[in-house]
Amino acid sequence: MLKTMVKPKWLALLGGALLVVVLFLLLGRWQLNAAFDSSTTAVDSEQYEEVVPLGELIQPGGGVTEETVARSITMSGWLVPGDFTIVSNRIQNGETGWWVVGHLAVADDGVSEFLPSSPVVTEETETGTASEYPGLVVAFGWAATEDEALAAAAELNASTPQIAEQAAPLNIVGKLEALQEPVIDRDGQNPAQVNSMSAGQLINTWQAPAVSYYAAWSLVETGVELPAGLQPIAVVAIDDSFQLDLLNIFYAIEWLVFAIMAIYIWWRLVRDDYQAELAEDPVADLAEEIRREKLRALAAERAPQDKPAPERN
């Protein structure tokens, strides 16, 4: 069969098969690299737990990215009275309830300090107190019922002084989150009800407009005292387990199988050619049969002969 393998046509086909094998192996390696490059490790969770200034992750008018969402942030600012409201369909520990959210006038994001030179008076407000501070939607706490959430929002609206009357901005630690799409109340019972963390909807409910807004919102973890009836919003823990893209691994195995199949197909073609040559040459068949008979005879000669058992007297 070796003589058949070294025929020019089979050697040429072997060269082509090896090129295909190399190509398939490179594609498999590419899939493996893609699987490990897209994997996440425990290092990511340490990065998310590190508290960084808000200004390092987002600027007014900008939104979050995959790298900045759910990051712990710190900032300082004033809560704006009259802008506290509630958001429905908030799930906590398997129970659906309500969030109390509000308007934070950001005074310092850790990178820029926003100092208004003069208030901007608009038709919506006569004081212009919060106009030159960027506005950020913030979520404070969760309530099991709508009445508890409304009572907490009313208490915050009544107890929060105007910005000009507040001695110093609040230092807040929270988590930066991405906006959600608006959810329409299909029942039509309360068209003004906000059912998702949509900044556009929430900003439209604010009585005090801002000169600019963040296309994101923040979960408040520390820095604000919650009124009675509100529970801290449960934060979903970061999954720090090693995650691998199994689909890419499957594709890599497929390319390896294809590479093996390329060599196997070449070997089958050579074998079929060799068997065809044997079928066309009767002398070769006779020589092969003689060779087999000689091998059988040689094996019989080398086999141990059975010795007769000794006779007993």
The predicted-structure confidence for 103-120, as pLDDT tens digits, reads as follows 999 988 888 877 654 333
Question: How does residue 151 score in pLDDT terms, banded at 50, 70 and 90?
Answer: very high
Is 29 a domain residue?
A: yes
Provide the pLDDT for residue 119: 39
Is 23 a domain residue?
A: yes
**How many folded domains does the chain comprise?**
2
More confident residue, 277 or 121: 277
The span from the CA of 107 to the CA of 110, in Å, is: 9
Is 138 a domain residue?
A: yes
User: For residue 2, which of 265, 264, 273, 262 has the smallest C-alpha distance?
Assistant: 273
Last residue of a domain, one of 189, 211, 232: 232
Is 308 a domain residue?
A: no
How large is the average pLDDT for residues 173-200? 80
The predicted-structure confidence for 45-96, as pLDDT tens digits, reads as follows 667 778 899 999 999 888 888 788 888 999 999 898 889 999 998 999 889 9
Does residue 173 carry a pLDDT above 80?
yes
Same domain, 294 and 151: no
Same domain, 32 and 114: no
The span from the CA of 143 to the CA of 121, in Å, is: 35
Same domain, 27 and 62: no
Same domain, 148 and 285: no
Is 120 a domain residue?
A: yes
Residue 303 token pair: 């086999």
> Which of the 8 DSSP states describes residue 129?
T
Last residue of a domain, one of 207, 232, 257: 232
Q: Report the chain's mean pLDDT, rounded to a whole number.
A: 81
The predicted-structure confidence for 292-303, as pLDDT tens digits, reads as follows 888 888 888 877
Provide the pLDDT for residue 87: 92
Question: How does residue 145 score in pLDDT terms, banded at 50, 70 and 90?
Answer: very high
User: For residue 152, which of 232, 236, 216 has the smallest C-alpha distance?
Assistant: 232
The span from the CA of 165 to the CA of 29, in Å, is: 64
How large is the average pLDDT for residues 233-252? 76
Range of the domain at 186: 43-232
Same domain, 92 and 132: yes
Is 196 a domain residue?
A: yes
Does residue 126 carry a pLDDT above 50?
no
Same domain, 29 and 97: no
The continuous run of DSSP H or E covering 299 comes out as: helix 282-302
Q: What is the pTM of this model?
A: 0.61
Same domain, 209 and 260: no
